[in-house]
Amino acid sequence: MSTSKREEVCSHLRYIRQELRDMDQMLREDRLLPEVSELKEVHAALEALHELVSGKSKKKPKPEFDD
């Protein structure tokens, strides 16, 4: 893995870890569930990390109906 790619992976991981720590703290101390938008943001970050590591980009689905 190249140095720049490794740095990018580390950056993604730092962000994801921090977001998960914040969510864990909310759950334990405040007994609040995270907002759906926060969960979607972390999920998107995980997908981006997976694409970066696997080297594959997500294919867009074909439209079901052609006009």
CA atoms within 13 A on the CB side of 35: 4
Domain locations in the chain?
A: 3-54
Q: Distance (Å, rounded) from C-alpha 44 to C-alpha 35?
A: 14
Helix, strand, coil percent values for the chain (each to nearest 5): 70, 0, 30
- Residue with token string 């926060």: 38
Mean pLDDT of the region 10-30: 92
What pTM was computed for the model? Answer: 0.65
CA nearest neighbour of 23 among 13, 35, 12, 11: 35
Mean pLDDT of the region 25-52: 90
